Amino acid sequence: MNSKYILAMCFLVILSSCNTSPNKVTNVSDYNDYLELAENKNLMDAEKEYAFWTAKTEEAHNPYSYSSQIAHAYASMFAATGKIDYLKLAEENLIQLNESKNHESSGAMKSLAANYISQHKFKEALQLLNKAEMNGDNLKGTQKMLFDVHLELGNYKMAKAYLAKFENMSDFDYLIRLAKWSDHIGNLDAAITYLEKAKTVAESSNMKGIKQWSYTNLADFYGHAGRIDDSYAHYLMALELDPNDAYAKKGIAWIVYSHEKNPDEALRILNSVMRDYHAPDYYLLKSEIHEFKGDMAAKDEQLALYIEAVKNKAYGDMYNQYNVLLYTQENQNLKEAIAISKSEIENRPTPHSYDLLAWSYFKNGQLEEALNLTRNHVLGFTSEPLALYHSAEILKASGYLDEVKGLKPDLMDSTYELGPLMAEKVSQL
Amino acid sequence: MKFNNIKIAAIAVLISLTAYNCSNDDDSKEPSGPDFSGNYIQEDQMARPAINTVFVSMGQKDAFNVTVPSNQGAAYQSSFESRLLALNPGYTTNALGMDAATFTGALATDVLTVSLDGTTTFFDGTNVLTGRALADDVIDVELLLIFGGPMGTDNGPVTSDHVDANDKPFLSSFPYLAAPHM
């Protein structure tokens, strides 16, 4: 064979090796089967589990013998459907369990704390975990949850102190929390490195739950880093393990919408997810995509569905942040947006909560209050793109154009994460 | 021949360039996998059912779980004894004739004993702790020894958990355990 020919071939290989089309990442045939599932296997398994333990309860001497197992079945139903009522039923059973154990069993308290974390009742969770920590059994497990809750509550010093207590670079639980912490302090590269290590641990122990968790969370981080191909690949890996994984499908819908600008396909994916999965924020996502298409009637229809859904008192504080973002986006109920943001700061004084209040003040024409909050609690305290965008708008309105210029490059890098509608606003900064 | 070597070398270089081209994580300083070197450590331990659960206090559980059995007797006998007397303040001896110190000394070393040439049973009326068969009612035996007094007749209401069989029959061949509920 002619050597020049071989060399030419090799160059072709180099050129084509990374030459995927810049925008098209997804392929319908990769995921379409997951959209056309006849049944929700996770829900059916949870229902079987529920039926089994309730039958046992009827035979049991003590009516609370299996409260823990029944609560677990309800929590699985919540995970499979997004229906809040299941999470509340799980809570009810866990409260009974704690009463039957005289509020002294660490395991029961931690199960209830985990339920409260899902409900964003972080202060209640903290109380339970503090008590479990005093009990002292399975202390590292308790400390891991205490890290989670302190991080959510904005008690960063406490979170960091707890993180150090269970340091172990071969432990999945430690690595994912180190990744979370790295992301919190704005070091996304480190966060990805640690999560990749956690993924390796999960794969070597071959446990489905933690593998799936590491795939979807890595997919998110890859997305933040602009690595859309890797992000997509990991959502697909999660779906291979669990074809009903709503979160992974939503992730793919976001790639199709935000990166490929194909709103119709994104909506098709979301509609299929929403046959089984009913979390209200999916309506918000759909409304945004309709707005991107310019279909304002469909947008309003989805907003109305969202507003109807979150009227359910059972959601408690879970949708506070979404509501503030919605009110500020639509320039309505701004007084209520301010009130909710204040209560969020009361509950969890994080940069994110302060950002919501600053943004609500800004939308309500209270520029000075907005700027003060931004300067004292947001800028330099978080690298979250939405908060930085809000800060940039507030700085711009206050005349600090040089600072806006400084923020803009990072924001331009985050347009995939922010979505096309927000990207348009960023470009106008 | 010489030219062929050049060709092969060129291909090798190009392939490695191609591979490098697509690799995003060359600057990662962390080792790529978890570190499984070193010695395994003990994380948990349970021999006789429910003994660790009932007799080890919450604050001592993590430590008990990583104590090797040969050290458990010395480290935990006295706290087991206080726990026993808290559970049953009227304890004198049990059906095995053990006083509180002897009994808790035996319990604190949390191992399953087995007789290699005798009947395998937790307790069958004659043999004591010569092993454990699947259908042995271990919890009832333990409750009886804790609460039943010297004749095994005291405190009737708390000497049985009233669970007298598995909810599915055991198998007569390996793996002997019943199939899990699916």
Residues on chain B bordering chain A, Cβ-to-Cβ distance under 8 angstroms? 3, 6-7, 10-11, 14-15, 17-18, 21-22, 24-25, 28, 30, 32-36, 58-62, 162, 167, 181-182
**B58 with A135: Cβ contact below 8 A:** yes
**A170 with B3: Cβ contact below 8 A:** no
d(CA A52, CA B113): 35
Residues in chain B: 182
Closest partner residue to A138 (CB to CB) among B32, B62, B162 is B62
The reply to whether B22 falls in a domain is no
- Cβ contacts from A onto B, under 8 A: 70
Q: Which residues of chain B have pLDDT under 50?
A: 1, 19-31
The reply to whether B102 falls in a domain is yes
**B14 with A7: Cβ contact below 8 A:** yes
Closest partner residue to B22 (CB to CB) among A18, A48, A201 is A18
The reply to whether A183 falls in a domain is yes
Residue A9: the pLDDT is 54
Nearest to A361 by CA among A386, A401, A334: A334
Residue B20: the pLDDT is 45
Query: Hey, of A18, A52, A137, which one would you mutate to test binding to chain B, going by the most B CBs within 10 A of its CB?
Result: A137
Chain B residues close to A196, C-beta within 8 Å: 25, 32
Residues in chain A: 429
Alpha helix ranges (H) inside A37-155: 41-59, 67-81, 84-100, 106-118, 122-135, 139-153
The reply to whether B169 falls in a domain is no
**B59 with A136: Cβ contact below 8 A:** yes
Residue A157: the pLDDT is 96
The reply to whether B181 falls in a domain is no
Closest partner residue to A227 (CB to CB) among B11, B24, B36 is B24
Residues on chain A bordering chain B, Cβ-to-Cβ distance under 8 angstroms? 3, 6-7, 10-11, 13-14, 17-18, 48, 52, 56, 61, 106, 135-140, 169-170, 193-194, 196-197, 200-201, 204, 227, 230
User: Which residues is B128 bridged to in the sheet?
Assistant: B123
Chain A residues close to B41, C-beta within 8 Å: none
Of the residues A197, A228, A243, the one at which a domain ends: A243
**A3 with B17: Cβ contact below 8 A:** no
Chain A residues close to B10, C-beta within 8 Å: 3, 6-7, 10
Chain A residues close to B5, C-beta within 8 Å: none
What chain A residue is nearest to B53 in terms of C-alpha separation? A137
Query: Hey, of B26, B30, B79, which one would you mutate to test binding to chain A, going by the most A CBs within 10 A of its CB?
Result: B30
d(CA A16, CA B14): 13
The reply to whether B107 falls in a domain is yes
**CB-CB contact of A175 with A169 (8 Å):** yes
**CB-CB contact of A378 with A391 (8 Å):** yes
The reply to whether B68 falls in a domain is yes
Phi-psi region of A331 (alpha: psi -120 to 50; beta: other; left: phi over 0): left
CA distance B46 to chain A (A): 14
- DSSP codes joined into one string, A183-244: HHTT-HHHHHHHHHHHHHHHHHHT-HHHHHHHHHHHHHHHHHTT-HHHHHHHHHHHHHH-TT
d(CA A290, CA A403): 33
**A106 with B18: Cβ contact below 8 A:** no
Indicate the SS3 state at residue B128: strand
Peptide bond into B175 cis (omega under 30): yes
Residue A63: the pLDDT is 84
Give me the domain span that covers residue A172.
167-243
What chain A residue is nearest to B6 in terms of C-alpha separation? A3
**B14 with A106: Cβ contact below 8 A:** no
The reply to whether B163 falls in a domain is no
Any idea what the CATH number is for the domain that residue A216 is in? 1.25.40.10
Nearest to B157 by CA among A63, A61, A66, A97: A61
Total structural domains within chain A: 2
**B18 with A201: Cβ contact below 8 A:** no
CA distance A105 to chain B (A): 9
Total structural domains within chain B: 1
Give this prediction's pTM.
0.85
Chain A residues close to B18, C-beta within 8 Å: 10, 13-14, 17
The reply to whether A385 falls in a domain is yes
- pLDDT (tens digit per residue) in B100-152: 999 999 999 999 989 999 999 998 888 888 999 999 999 999 999 999 999 98
Give me the domain span that covers residue B100.
51-157
Of the residues A198, A225, A243, the one at which a domain ends: A243
Indicate the SS3 state at residue A322: helix
CA distance B62 to chain A (A): 6
The reply to whether B92 falls in a domain is yes
> Between vectors from CA A221 to CA A218 and to CA A227, what angle results, nearest 5°?
100
Chain A residues close to B60, C-beta within 8 Å: 136
Chain B residues close to A200, C-beta within 8 Å: 32-34
Nearest to A416 by CA among A282, A189, A220, A274: A220
d(CA A425, CA A408): 11
d(CA B135, CA B23): 58
Q: Which residues of chain A have pLDDT under 50?
A: 1, 10, 12-21
